[in-house]
Each structure stands twice: as structure tokens, then as C-alpha cells.
Amino acid sequence: MKSRRKGREFALQLLYANEICESESIGGLQLEHTENAIEAALAAKGSSLQYGRNLVEGILSNIEEVDFCINQHLKDWSWDRVALVDKLLLRVGVAELFYHKDVPVPVIITEAVQLAKKYSTQDSPLFINGVLDAVAKSISVQSNKE
């Protein structure tokens, strides 16, 4: 679905802008101000804009849970060594896996891989795929136990 793809891209860019501003000691960034600039650049509208906002809100309000889950599935890699864009892509993917059960798992992983190809390094798509696949499998195992 194209609107969700734009929404994911919007969420990634919004999270990135928020991280950069916070790390440069600007005193944090109001999401509403960042949204305006990114929205214009992406021409995000309607459902894609709302989907992106929902992803960001879900990530930011559950950041500890999302990051903990990611950290549990990093094999031979530490969180501190993960590139910022890859961290954000993983957060978007994990948030979708946790909170958007209506989206098929293969779609979530494929979309994250496509964004990694567009915005990150050549090694990132394989890395993103591996971590999200491991997270999806652990969620599936937990669901089967319940």
C-alpha cells in the first residue's frame, strides 16, 4: 500500500530529525514543527501522514520496550555500534510488528529493507532483514504460547 510506504518514510524522517536536534543540544525538537518541513518535502497527505504519525507516537511512547526488543535480537552487535538510520528503521519495523497486526510480517520487513536501501549503507538491508526477522519469529513464538 503506497500510503503506508509514504507513512513509514515520513516516520523515519521525523524520528531522524528529532534525534539530530536532540543530539545537537538544541533542547529537543517539537514534533509538530518538524512535521511541517518533512510533510512538505514528502508531500505526505491523509492516510500516509496519519500512519507515520501513529508510528512515531507508538515508538516514542514505548521506546524502552521497542529498544529492549531490538537489543535482544542483535547478534554479535551492540546497540552503540548500530548506525542511527538503522536504529530508526528497526524502531519503525518493531513498532509495526508490535502495534500494527493488520500489516503482514513479510510486508513490514520488506518495506524496512527497501527504506534501508534508500537511506542507509549497502550492508544495512541484510542487517535490518535479519533483526526484524528474528523479532517477528520471537513474537510469533510468544503468540503461540498464549
The residue extents of the domains of the chain are 2-145
CA distance 41 to 29: 18
What CATH homologous superfamily does 2-145 map to?
NusB-like (1.10.940.10)
Which residues lie closer than 8 Å to 144 by C-beta, 6 or more apart? Answer: none
pTM, two decimal places: 0.83
- Residue type at 20 in one-letter notation: I
- The terminus-to-terminus CA distance of the chain in angstroms comes to 30
- Tens place of pLDDT for every residue, the chain, 146 residues? 577 888 898 888 888 887 877 654 444 445 555 565 565 555 656 777 788 888 999 999 999 999 999 999 998 889 999 999 999 999 999 999 999 999 999 999 999 999 999 999 999 999 999 999 999 999 876 666 66
